[in-house]
Structure 1
Amino acid sequence: MRRRVGNTVIAGVTAVALCSGAWLLWGDAGAGPPQPAAAEARAGQGQEAVVAPALPPSPPDRVRIPVIGVNAPLTGLGLTPGGSLDVPPAEDDNLAGWYEAGTTPGETGTAIVAGHVDNAEGPAVFYRLGALKRGAAVEVDRRDGSVAVFSVDAVEVYDAADFPDEKVYGRAARPELRVITCGGGWSRGRGYEGNVVVFAHLTGVRR
């Protein structure tokens, strides 16, 4: 399976590399990370009334999702020699990454942020991503001094075998954001079997 991010095709390792589930394998994780409720799935296109004007390109430095306690620096992610999206270092449990060859958060298009759900030590930066609700705020600090504020449109979970490439990574005519981590079922042999994906669009800007 292959994944498309903007104009760049990347291999499906994007999900696999984030999804080993080391804490579930070696630790005491209980029921594991929260998974999205069916009610948070996308209800349809065009239902959002407020869309802020697009911003010029500027690299992001930090992502915050206050309702689930995320406040993490962002590192740039490139492609591995095999053509897959690289991932943040697993040992840093409070680090997320953004695909720096694609859209920057706040400009027109689909920006991608990804991070681990856990590591061998316990929960990581996006452990509670599946608990998000529609309407929650995602804030991205940009290097130009602006803060791009996104509103969550949907939170969905997909099996890796049925991952909707175009829906998640396809081009957008407005400023949109995807936040991705691991989710779905988990098995000892395969790790997490899918991904939690947050869909959001730009609703405001702070300076």
Structure 2
Amino acid sequence: MTSRHESTPIRRGLQGAPVLMAALLGLVMIALAVGGPAGPPQPPAWAAAARAADHSGPLLPRSAPLRVRIPAIGVQAPLAHLGLNPDASLQVPPAGRPDLAGWYRGGPAPGERGPAVIVGHVDSPRGPAVFYDLGRLRPHDRIEVDRADGRVAVFTVESIERVPKERFPTERVYGPLDHAGLRLITCGGRFDRARRGYRDNVIVYAHQTAVR
């Protein structure tokens, strides 16, 4: 079983926010997909609907995130700090660490105003990776991010969707916010053996509701 990574080019836009080039977004590509032809768990269509939410939660100063915890799916993952590759593509967590997620340090930190972005592999040559079960999340589930300043930013899931990579919702993911938001991103959908990659992305949208 072999593996390779597809880069994630970005460009600048949306008032300075980093913007993923949708068609090329891919966090892991392996020769044999995990989970059979249907692929990893996928969110139901109803979970993608936007819901009214109270965005008056607290804002925090910038502080690097150290770990993300998602109790509903048993995730407790350390966070790598990701930058850009020489070709301006977004780095991804190391292939040899399927337990590791990654925060894009060029954007807001979790707890700051704006959309903080955390990415993770869906699988690896050895089996499921950190965000394999991301599609099982549902609105109102909790996400916690431990920060270097000792605070814990607590987020509540608003919606979760699966989208084709060529129609990645750039503005919704990276557009400016008046509150502290969080986006979790991985691959999803069916595995395309010809292209050696997943066809879709699974994206979780959440907002900060508490600080501990």
Distance 1:35 1:205 in 2: 29
1:47-66 equivalent positions in 2, closer than 5 A = 47-49=52-54, 51-66=56-71
Superposition deviation, residue 184 in structure 1: 1.9
**What corresponds to 1:42 in structure 2?**
49
TM-score (norm 1): 0.90
Secondary structure in structure 2 of the residue aligned to 1:89: coil
User: Which moved further from structure 2: 69-78 or 162-171?
Assistant: 162-171
Superposition deviation, residue 3 in structure 1: 5.6
**What corresponds to 2:194 in structure 1?**
189
**What corresponds to 1:179 in structure 2?**
184
Distance 2:48 2:61 in 1: 30
Structure 1, residues 9-46: CA drift from partner, whole Å, max 9, x if none? 45457622x1314441xxx63342100101111335xx
**What corresponds to 1:203 in structure 2?**
209
Q: Please tell me whether the aligned partners of residues 174 and 201 of structure 1 are also in contact (alpha carbons under 8 angstroms).
A: yes
Gaps of 5+ in 2: 1-8
CA RMSD of aligned residues (A): 1.9
**What corresponds to 2:28 in structure 1?**
19
Distance 2:129 2:83 in 1: 21
**What corresponds to 1:123 in structure 2?**
128
Superposition deviation, residue 194 in structure 1: 1.4
TM-score (norm 2): 0.88
Percent identity reads 51
User: Which moved further from structure 2: 49-58 or 193-202?
Assistant: 49-58
Secondary structure in structure 2 of the residue aligned to 1:189: coil
Q: 1:162 aligns with which of 163, 167, 180?
A: 167
Distance 1:106 1:170 in 2: 16
CA distance change for structure 1 residues 48 and 12 in 2, over 3 Å: closer, same or farther? closer
Q: 1:102 aligns with which of 99, 107, 127?
A: 107
2:165 alignment partner AA: A
Superposition deviation, residue 141 in structure 1: 0.1
Q: Please tell me whether the aligned partners of residues 117 and 127 of structure 1 are also in contact (alpha carbons under 8 angstroms).
A: yes
Q: Please tell me whether the aligned partners of residues 96 and 115 of structure 1 are also in contact (alpha carbons under 8 angstroms).
A: yes
**What corresponds to 1:112 in structure 2?**
117
Structure 1, residues 79-99: CA drift from partner, whole Å, max 9, x if none? 111111100012111100000
Distance 2:63 2:159 in 1: 25
**What corresponds to 1:70 in structure 2?**
75
1:41 alignment partner AA: A
Q: Which runs of 4+ in 1 moved over 4 A?
A: 1-6, 9-14
Q: 2:151 aligns with which of 146, 149, 155?
A: 146
Alignment: residue pair count: 200
Q: Please tell me whether the aligned partners of residues 157 and 204 of structure 2 are also in contact (alpha carbons under 8 angstroms).
A: yes
